Amino acid sequence: MAAQNKMIIFSAPSGAGKTTLVRHLLEQEDLELAFSISATSRAPRGQEKHGSDYYFFSNEEFNQKVEEGAFLEWEEVYAGTKYGTLRSEIERLWDLGKNVIFDIDVVGGLNLKSLYGDRALAVFVMPPDEEELENRLRGRGTDSEDKIRQRMAKARKEIGRSDRFDHILLNRDLERAKTEAYNLVKLFVGA
Ligand code: 5GP
């Protein structure tokens, strides 16, 4: 059982490697982490499942939840696509005695940090440089040129907000970044 349930927030521009780092941390049993499953209005991709990758809602369902005040934070991360953190999700995981880890965009991450203060550790995953970030986005092969340009513009804005996070974790070398992430979280949760 975690001594006092905490929040670990990982935010980054798309392509910086935050999802890989979050997955790595979830495998470290001593940290007692559980992933906060977000709600989204987008459709599932590939093998994604409702209730494990996301809670997939229709636009109407999502808006209904907003009206009910069910979200701690929510945002239209991409035009027409909303994402949000359900209050009930955090409570569910804290009730299990877990520390909750988030893979969430920069604005959402800072919103959670301002709600939870010292109970939250907000980490910004920094890509080595713009060129490398662009290469990684291209390498994924999932985005059109136009999408890549949009993601790069968003990334520049997000990097401009990185100094508001508790910690900036440079992801130049993935193995090093994994070790640094583990050490940071371990210290924070006191595991
Ligand atoms: P994707 O559609 O690729 O799974 O995620 C798109 C973006 O939405 C990512 O940057 C992801 O971190 C962000 N995101 C996922 N869940 C949430 C959430 O609950 N709130 C906010 N603000 N952003 C989220």
For the cut 80, the answer to whether the pLDDT of residue 115 exceeds it is yes
> Which atom of ligand 1 lies at the shortest distance from residue 77's CA?
8
Question: In angstroms, what is the span from residue 97 Cα to ligand 1's centroid?
Answer: 24
* Tens of pLDDT, residues 160-179: 999 999 999 999 999 999 99
Instruction: Give the whole-number percent of the chain exceeding pLDDT 90.
Output: 77
Alpha helices in the chain (DSSP H): 18-26, 59-68, 87-95, 106-116, 130-140, 145-159, 174-189
* Tens of pLDDT, residues 128-151: 888 888 888 888 777 888 888 888
Confidence class for position 2, pLDDT limits 50, 70, 90: very low
Q: What is the DSSP letter of 96?
A: T
Q: What is the residue with the minimal CA distance to atom 14 of ligand 1?
A: 104
What CATH number matches the domain at 7-189, 2.130.10.10, 3.40.50.720, 3.30.56.10, 3.40.50.300? Answer: 3.40.50.300
- How many angstroms separate the CA atoms of 190 and 180, rounded? 15
Average pLDDT of 60-75? Answer: 97
Q: Which protein residues are within 6 Å of ligand 1, measured from CB?
A: 14, 38, 42, 73, 75, 77, 83-85, 103-105, 108
Average pLDDT of 59-74? Answer: 97
